[in-house]
Amino acid sequence: MASDSRSERERLKEEYKAHYRKMREMKERASRAKKTKKISDALKNMDKSQMLDTFDDFLYSVKHKLASVEARLDVAMESLTDENEQAIQEQELDEEMAKEKAKDTLKQVKLEMGLLYKEIEQQADTLQVDKTIGSGEKAADQSSDSRLSE
C-alpha cells in the first residue's frame, strides 16, 4: 500500500505541475492580450493632427538644413572658382610683368651698346689713323692681283 500511495502522490504531483504550467501560460497570454489591447487603444486615441504637425515640423527642419547646406556648398564652389580665376589672372599678370622686364632689360642693353658704339667712334676719331683701305693703292693692288691669277 505504501507503494500505491507513493505512486498516487507522484501522479497528483505531476497533475499539479501540469495545472500550474497551464495557469502560468494562461496568465502570460492574458498579459500579452492586455498589452496588445492597450497599444491598439493608444493608437486609436492618438491625436493624428498633432502627430502630423510634428512630422511637418520635422520635415521642415530637414528641408531647411538641406537648403542651408546646399547654399554653403554653392558659396564654397563659387569661392573656389573665384580663387582659380584669380590665380590664373595673377599668373598672366606675372607673365606680362616678366615680358615687360625683359623688354626693359633689352632696351637698357641696346642703350648701353649704343653708348658703347658712340664711345668707340669717339675714340677712333681721336686716334687720327690714316686709312689704307679705300685709297688709290687699292685699285693698283686689284690689278696686280688679277694678273697673278691669270
Asked if the model's pLDDT at residue 1 lies above 70, the reply is no
What is the residue-wise DSSP string for 34-99?
HHHHHHHHHHHHS-HHHHHHHHHHHHHHHHHHHHHHHHHHHHHHHHHHHHHHHHHHHHHHHHHHHH
Nearest CA among 60, 79, 121, 94 for reference residue 71: 79
Total structural domains in the chain?
1
Stated pTM of the model? 0.33
Give a yes or no: residue 137 inside a domain. Answer: no
Give a yes or no: residue 82 inside a domain. Answer: no
Where is pLDDT greater, at 143 or 119? 119
Give a yes or no: residue 14 inside a domain. Answer: yes
Cα–Cα distance measured from residue 76 to residue 136, given in angstroms and rounded to the nearest whole number = 86
pLDDT in tens, 92-141: 999 999 999 998 998 888 877 777 777 777 777 777 666 677 655 555 55
For 111, the grid coordinates are: 642703350
Give a yes or no: residue 67 inside a domain. Answer: no
Give 3-state DSSP helix, strand, coil % of the chain, rounded to 5: 90, 0, 10
Asked if the model's pLDDT at residue 88 lies above 90, the reply is no
Residue 35 belongs to domain spanning:
9-46
For the chain, helix (H) and strand (E) counts, in that order, are 3, 0
